[in-house]
Amino acid sequence: MKLVFEKSVTGRTGVLPGPSDVPGTINIRESLLREKPAAMPELSEMDVVRHFTELSRRNYGVDTNFYPLGSCTMKYNPKVCERIAAYPGFAHLHPLLPQLRRGGMLTQGALAVLYEMDLLLREITGMAGFTMQPMAGAHGELTGMMIMAAYHRDKGNKKTVVLAPDSAHGTNPASAAIAGYRVVTIPSTEKGVMDMDALKRELNDQVAGIMLTSPNTLGLFNSRIHEICDLIHSVDGLAYYDGANLNAIVGKARPGDFGFDIVHLNLHKTFATPHGGGGPGAGPVGVKEKLLPFLPISVVVKRDDGTYALEYNRPKSIGYIAPFYGNFGIVLRAYVYTLMLGGEGLRHVAETAVLNANYVRARLRKYYKPAVDRICKHECVFSTTDEMAANGVHALDIAKALIDRGFHPPTVYFPTIVKEAMMIEPTETESKETLDAFIDAMIELADLAEKDPEKLKAAPINAPISRPDEVAAAKNLNIAYLG
């Protein structure tokens, strides 16, 4: 497919604007103006429409096919959430509109959504208060770590270490390091959960806290999670909950009841909104009572007269971590989703997500090697078998071959503690028929790995491109058009 620039024809236009009735005064410094016109493609309206329609047909998403990425919760997003987020009364609000005076009533609905979503998330997680500003999960992690650091500074604690399991999401150690901490990794046992003896050996006065999620990246819930939080608290540390896997327990259990002090939630995973493609996202952060003073400004408050306002006078706040209200449209989608489902609906989400993952695990365990052969939560992890390895077949080969069969590949080579890992999260929104079709394809590929491994290694053959040198492409990135 040619680039839109390659389709350009000199002199061709799609729009013929009439003469301007606005005075032609330019109040821009001459030094800021272009020396020559921008080299934009010259196309008709039909050329443009066909080009971008063809591009859209090459996109892959949950609206077209099954998307079983592990730890990413690529589930179907109800269109009613999108519809309400597009309401002009929300979508057309300018972030600089006043809260109360002179037209401020226009913003009261948006402030009410932020305030009420805070209340809902408190109930769901067992936290005392939330900020809606973080714009992604990793942004929420960093916010949580900044709150942790502010808390210890306020107490005069000289703490330098944050603990994290070896199965942690890669952004966990990165967020802790950006917040100024040294990260110490705690290994996992053969059962797939954090080694408690190793954890106890690392506990000392230097420990500021721990970052973990439960269920973890193997889809396993740690039955000693309350004990872990108590151990961290025994050295005056804080327990941080990575909410990326909340889809497995939402409505069933609350991180705050486990003992966690800080939690971030991925609204763009657990609560209906779009995920993937670099955004948009929302990663609200909730904290227990003693950490409320450190939440970012501004905080939405409800006044005695029933109106809503933004509160800025918070001397211990970590300050702004995002402009205005964060990704308000994403928070709005999640608000609609949560009200739609209610408590019983959210519990059903977790129950069905866990049921689907265990159905996939049970049917595939004869054909692929389970990372840990036990009942899982929302996702299951496999690796290639010894027989596949003997034939030179890797997880990447299975992933590429799935593309030819109409399925997006699962996450491969993560978590890194599992060799040739394939992480599958079916989510709660997929039907048994879809799961059966995916499982049948995986079984077919397992058979092909033994009988005709070379055919498997050549896949995909029906995609626009087959097997690029991915390492070379990453190292020698060239996205410039020089036509």
DSSP one-letter code for 103: T
Residue 234 and residue 316 in one domain:
yes
In this prediction, residues 114-127 reach a mean pLDDT of 98
Residue 121 lies in a domain: yes
In this prediction, residues 177-181 reach a mean pLDDT of 96
Given pLDDT bands bounded at 50, 70 and 90, which one contains residue 409? very high
CB count within 10 Å of CB 278 equals 6
- The helix or strand, by DSSP H or E, that contains position 161, with its residue range, turns out to be strand 161-165
What's the token pair of residue 283?
Answer: 């990663």
> Are 382 and 371 within 8 A, CB to CB?
yes
Residue 345 lies in a domain: no
Q: According to the per-residue pLDDT averaged within each range, which of 24-38, 267-281, 388-402 is highest?
A: 388-402
CA 30, CA 27: separation in Å to the nearest integer?
9
Residue 146 and residue 17 in one domain:
no
Question: What is residue 241's three-state secondary structure?
Answer: strand
Provide the domain limits for residue 38.
1-58
Residue 137 and residue 264 in one domain:
yes
Question: What is residue 302's three-state secondary structure?
Answer: strand
CA 426, CA 440: separation in Å to the nearest integer?
14
Task: Look up the CATH number of the domain holding residue 232.
Answer: 3.40.640.10
Q: How distant, in Å, are the alpha carbons of 2, 40, 41, 46 from that of 7?
A: 7, 11, 8, 12
What's the token pair of residue 476?
Answer: 């020698």
Residue 130 and residue 162 in one domain:
yes
Q: Over 90: is that where the pLDDT of 432 sits?
A: yes
- The helix or strand, by DSSP H or E, that contains position 23, with its residue range, turns out to be none
pLDDT score at 106 = 83
Q: Over 90: is that where the pLDDT of 27 sits?
A: no
Q: What percent of the chain has pLDDT over 90?
A: 78
Residue 156 lies in a domain: yes
Decide which of 340, 363, 398 is a domain's last residue: 340
Is 13 exposed, middle or buried (CB count within 10 Å of its CB: 0-12, 13-18, 19+)? exposed
- Helix ranges (H only) for 58-184 are 79-85, 88-91, 105-125, 137-155, 171-178
CA 450 to chain centroid:
36
- Sheet bearing 380-383, strands edge to edge: 369-370, 380-383, 421-424, 411-412
CA 71, CA 269: separation in Å to the nearest integer?
9
- Which residues on neighbouring strands pair with residue 161, listed in sequence order? 182, 207
Higher pLDDT, 269 or 424: 424
Handedness of CA 102, 105, 110, 115 (dihedral sign): positive
Question: What is residue 261's three-state secondary structure?
Answer: coil
Of 187, 198, 161, nearest to 176 (Cα)? 161
How many distinct structural domains can be found in the chain? 3
Given pLDDT bands bounded at 50, 70 and 90, which one contains residue 64? confident
CA 43, CA 289: separation in Å to the nearest integer?
59
* pLDDT 10s digits, 352-407: 999 999 999 999 999 999 999 999 999 999 999 999 999 999 999 999 999 999 99
Q: Over 90: is that where the pLDDT of 98 sits?
A: no
Residue 479 lies in a domain: no
Q: Over 70: is that where the pLDDT of 104 sits?
A: no
Residue 357 and residue 236 in one domain:
no
pLDDT score at 463 = 87
Residue 356 and residue 336 in one domain:
no
pLDDT score at 277 = 58
pLDDT score at 71 = 82
Decide which of 305, 320, 340 is a domain's last residue: 340
- Which residues on neighbouring strands pair with residue 286, listed in sequence order? 130, 263
Given pLDDT bands bounded at 50, 70 and 90, which one contains residue 481? confident
Residue 328 and residue 390 in one domain:
no
Number of H helices, E strands in the chain: 16, 13
CA 165 to chain centroid:
19
> Are 371 and 429 within 8 A, CB to CB?
no
Of 349, 334, 175, nearest to 268 (Cα)? 334
pLDDT score at 103 = 54
Amino acid at 57: R
Residue 63 lies in a domain: no
pLDDT score at 60 = 83
* pLDDT 10s digits, 148-161: 999 999 999 999 99
CA 411, CA 423: separation in Å to the nearest integer?
5
Residue 480 lies in a domain: no
Residue 355 and residue 274 in one domain:
no
Residue 412 and residue 289 in one domain:
no
Length of the chain: 483
Residue 156 and residue 224 in one domain:
yes
Residue 2 lies in a domain: yes
Q: What percent of the chain has pLDDT over 70?
A: 98
What's the token pair of residue 224?
Answer: 């000693």
Residue 478 lies in a domain: no
CA 458, CA 424: separation in Å to the nearest integer?
23
* pLDDT 10s digits, 344-363: 999 999 999 999 999 999 99
pLDDT score at 101 = 62
Give the N- to C-terminal CA distance of the chain in Å, as an integer.
15
> Chain-wide mean pLDDT for the chain?
93
Higher pLDDT, 30 or 383: 383
pLDDT score at 343 = 96
pLDDT score at 421 = 97
Task: Look up the CATH number of the domain holding residue 367.
Answer: 3.90.1150.10
φ, ψ dihedrals at 398, nearest 5°: -65, -45
Residue 110 and residue 176 in one domain:
yes
Given pLDDT bands bounded at 50, 70 and 90, which one contains residue 318? very high
Q: How distant, in Å, are the alpha carbons of 93, 183, 299, 302, 308 from that of 101?
A: 15, 48, 18, 16, 12
pLDDT score at 91 = 93
Question: What is residue 158's three-state secondary structure?
Answer: coil
Q: Over 70: is that where the pLDDT of 29 sits?
A: yes
Higher pLDDT, 57 or 393: 393
Which of 16-30, 332-346, 375-389, 420-434 is predicted with the least confidence, judged by mean pLDDT?
A: 16-30
Residue 87 and residue 121 in one domain:
yes
What's the token pair of residue 448?
Answer: 């092909």
Decide which of 321, 340, 359 is a domain's last residue: 340
- Which residues on neighbouring strands pair with residue 287, listed in sequence order? 129, 262
CA 75, CA 336: separation in Å to the nearest integer?
16
